[in-house]
A = this chain, B = another copy of it.
Amino acid sequence: MQHLTSELDKNAVLKAIRSCLPPDRMTVELHEPFFSGNEWRYVKECLDTNWVSSSGKFVDAFERKLAEFTGAKRAFAVVNGTAALHISLKMAGVDMNDEVLVPDLTFVATANAVTYCGAIPHFIDCEERTLGIDAKLLNSYLKNITELRENGCFNKITGRKIKVLIAMHTFGHPTDLEPLAATCKHYHLTLIEDAAEALGSYYKSKHVGNWGQFSILSFNGNKTITTGGGGAILTNDEALGVRAKHIATTAKLSHPWAFNHDEIGYNYRMPNINAALGVAQMEKLPEYLKRKRALALRYKEAFADLAGVTFFEEPAFAKSSYWLNAILLDKELKGELDPLLKYLTENGIKSRPVWTLMHKLAMYRDCPRMDISVAEDIESRLINIPSSAFL
């Protein structure tokens, strides 16, 4: 007799996960840093030479490595991904009472950065294939609610200008960038890629972060590589890049002694000591990505025959960083999500659901949004499982 689909075999899920992990680890975190290279040497060099603060050779070296790896013309390092988003939105001209299209399924920083500009996030649904924005749904929605005027795209309902679309590569899986770029072109929107989770992810054989006017990365402690706290901005526009770096560095004009600033700036530059970690981590990135891909493959096999659960795989057009592996319960099993989270956690496997959807958060409840059915369905069925590179 077949299992009732309303009953998930939680122990089988636990066993499938355990079978992919080193047997000696009782408790396995979701994502931990992995320091196996020159971290120690480079940080010591910072201390020995007194160069721990902003500016310094490791910041330059880290930025060069990031640009080289991603193929972007310029990269510059900031204190975190949120700061990178804030600067990118500023550079795109986002201002008081503008609207910015933001995936409803994202980490809260994506929406928060919009509010830092005095603008309003406008939430968009995603597709199950990529966990990113669904370009088709977006297009028909924008057709209904916007009006294209000479000076841009306006929300007919709120009267506000829509200036930017932020595309997010969820858990490292590239969103479908080409149709989104086409939508942006049609509606005169600036595209920003939130690639916080996607260092090492490729869209049609090119590294993500090369479609937006700006793209951002994160090196928080839970990311594929970490600088303690940190982020970066990528751009292929040399002039915009220079200006973005300027406003992220308190907009100080260069001078041997005078302190002069020509616009409102931010104190967002990454300290040299954090960049020292970054340089060492970048040296190891190809190895970490290989290890993470191998773990994803093991998960894929382990879940291949398990009823009620599907391992989330990269979209066909993409190569994912597999930053954070995910499984999806069958639709009939959504009631099992919380019990499964509890069961895994109790048994030493740290796991988590997706972020609470943006439109459900108290401060974003009244923001404009389209129908969010797909993200709501995913929210009720997705669980992230351990993904550290050393596993």
Contacts and interface: CB of A to CB of B under 8 A. Distances in A.
A19 interface: no
B47 A263 contact: no
Contact of A47 (B43, B96, B265, B361): B43
A334 to B, nearest CB: 16
Given A43-B43, A108-B250, A273-B277, A53 B116 contact: no
A362 interface: yes
Contact of A260 (B52, B220, B257, B356): B356
A44 B40 CA distance: 7
A96 B32 CA distance: 40
Interface in A25-60: 32-35, 39-40, 43-44, 46-47, 50-54
A271 interface: yes
Given A226-B53, A228-B52, A362 B259 contact: no
Interface string A251-281: 1100011111111111101111110010000
A53 B220 contact: yes
A50 B35 contact: yes
Interface stretch (A75-83, A149-157, A315-323): A75-83
Nearest to A259: B355
A50 B40 CA distance: 12
The copy count of this chain in the complex is 2
Contacts of A33: 50, 52-53
A259 B352 contact: yes
A108 B266 CA distance: 10
Interface residues of A, number: 69
Interface string A125-150: 00000000000000000000000000
A351 interface: yes
Interface centre among A32, A226, A256, A273 (most CB of B within 10 A): A273
A350 to B, nearest CB: 8
A229 B81 CA distance: 16
Contact of A257 (B228, B256, B265, B351): B351
Interface centre among A33, A35, A229, A361 (most CB of B within 10 A): A229
User: Which 4 pairs between the two chains have the least Cβ-Cβ distance?
Assistant: A53-B221, A228-B271, A82-B267, A229-B271
Given A40-B47, A83-B267, 11 more contacts: A32-B50, A33-B52, A35-B47, A53-B220, A108-B252, A108-B259, A221-B272, A228-B272, A229-B269, A258-B356, A273-B277
19 contacts: A33-B53, A43-B43, A52-B226, A82-B266, A82-B267, A96-B118, A108-B250, A108-B261, A109-B267, A257-B350, A258-B353, A259-B352, A259-B353, A259-B356, A261-B363, A262-B363, A263-B363, A273-B274, A274-B274
